[in-house]
Amino acid sequence: MDAKHITPYTFIRLAQLHPAPIFPALRLLRFSDSESRNIRKVKHIAAGCFLLVSPAIKTLIIDRFGPDPTEHNSFFEAFFVSLTQGSTNIHDLTVDGRISHWKILASSCNLRNLCFYKKFGQNWTTYLSVDIKSLRSFNNLTSIKINVDIEDRYNSEDIQNLLQYVPELNSSECLNCLPHLNHMTLIGDVALFVLVLQHIPSNNLKSILILSRERFDMILTPLWALFFEQLSHCQYLEHILILGTKATLRTPTASDFACIISQKHLQSLLKLKHLWSLQISGYIIADLHEAFIVQLALLWNQLSDLYLPDSQLVPTVGSTAQSLGALSHIALHHPNLKVLKLSVNATDLAITIPSNYHSRSRLRELFLSTRDDVRDLAAPQRLLLARYIYRVFPSLKVVSGVEKEFWEEINAMVQAFKAVRQEALSETLMDHHNSITTTST
């Protein structure tokens, strides 16, 4: 039976007709107050929920219960106790951390994946640290998702206290905890990211996803520097994704983004030897040099995905800002790239490719963003742009960009160049085969 939404009245009727457990093969159980936040309705069906306890349950989801979930604490406390007695096979748990006693359940289960949400007010540093450290007791976790809202807007004094607090922590603390943890998703502010990487062992971490609700305060820059330094010690990291959600009441400007993350921060990641995917979107990386992108190839020879669509490249000496020529250099030094998203000046067509240039690039997907209006390019210029892209990335399957219709046209031209080339190669091979056949006869 597929997942169904059961109304309280249907549920009560089922409970009357069927002995416990009502659904002996039930694998997923979800609590939500999306239909009503009326505590009386929750109490109305609370007793019947105990009839759902089944050894087959693998996934338990407890959604956010309004602004004050404590009114449900007595029910969940009793339900968790019942669940631990009747179903200890739960592997996946999503929970509103404001509901007390959830750790009673988690500690008795063989959890693999944990999604944890909580909102903090005053003294958030202390309470958040306590909650993060408590997660270390779930020793079989392979994946953690932590979503935190900090209601108090912290000031420069909070930042300085945090910068002093983190280095004082015992870095060797609980190094053997969470030996199977390989994926982490963090949603919140950079203070959360720093505290998590300080308290949660990341020896075997392979993937980290950051969704930042950045406030665009420059006072946060030292925390970002500390966070990137922490990342550099996650020696087995393969995939880094950082997305800025731009959660702010006003429209952000370029100056908001600049210097929050810079090339200097990225340089600390050069210690990583297994990275194959780096994606940073929503932030303009300050002082990002074309030469640095080329340097990555020397240290990250497994790099397959590179997403930096919002960051202007500082050109090499002798080339214009954000020149398309950067693409040929990237293709030359990163032949194993499969996906590339970058900001370039696609209207700067004053570029030349040597006649003996031969690209070994295996790039499949290319996304280009530009501040210039590419729609102003005339038909001959568009053809020149498509020809250049094809020469640089001959294996491309998709070319796209912000101006969807324009890039669809460029993509069609690139694919046409590719088809002509493949047809010419086929004819050459056929002629060669016929020549061999004639000679042999």
Same domain, 154 and 217: yes
CB 408 within 8 A of CB 369: no
Q: Which domain holds residue 265?
A: 112-286
Please check whether residues 360 and 428 belong to one and the same domain. yes
Q: What is the mean pLDDT of residues 384-409?
A: 92
Q: What is the pLDDT of residue 43?
A: 52
Rounded distance between C-alpha atoms, residue 172 and residue 176, angstroms: 9
One domain, residues 149 and 45 = no
Q: Is the peptide bond before 252 cis (omega within 30 degrees of 0)?
A: no
**How do residues 48-72 score in pLDDT, each as one tens digit?**
666 777 788 889 888 876 666 666 7
Residue in 88, 103, 168 with CA at minimum distance from that of residue 138:
103
Residues 402 and 432 in one domain: yes
Q: Residue 247: pLDDT band by 50, 70, 90 thresholds?
A: very low
**Range from 103-117, 167-181, 260-274 carrying the lowest mean pLDDT:** 167-181
119 & 89 share domain: no
Amino acid 300 reads W
Judgement on whether residues 277 and 153 belong to the same structural domain of the protein: yes
User: Is it the case that residue 125 has pLDDT exceeding 50?
Assistant: yes
Domain boundary among 108, 137, 168: 108
- To the nearest whole number, what is the mean pLDDT of the chain? 79
Q: Is residue 300 part of a domain?
A: no
Say if residue 272 is in the same domain as residue 185: yes
Q: Please indicate, yes or no, if residue 218 is contained in any of the structural domains.
A: yes
Residue 151 lies inside a defined structural domain of this protein: yes
Q: Are residues 370 and 237 in the same domain?
A: no
Residues 6+ apart with CB under 8 A from 208: 183, 184, 185, 186, 231, 234, 237, 239, 240, 241
Residue 155 lies in a domain: yes
Residue 439 pLDDT grade (very low, low, confident, very high; cuts 50, 70, 90): low
Same structural domain, 371 and 234: no
Position 9 scores a pLDDT of 67
DSSP-assigned beta bridge partners for residue 207: 183, 239
Q: Could you tell me if residue 299 is inside a domain?
A: no
User: Based on the domain organization, do 354 and 279 belong to the same domain?
Assistant: no
**Closest-CA residue to 399 (of 351, 279, 408, 380):** 408
According to the model, what pLDDT value does residue 74 have?
77
Per-residue pLDDT at 103: 79
**Same structural domain, 131 and 279:** yes
Q: Please give the tally of structural domains in the chain.
A: 3
| CA–CA distances in Å: residue 221 to residues 156, 167, 181, 251, 266 | 11, 17, 28, 20, 13
Asked if 89 and 161 sit in the same domain, the reply is no
- In a domain, residue 309? The reply is no
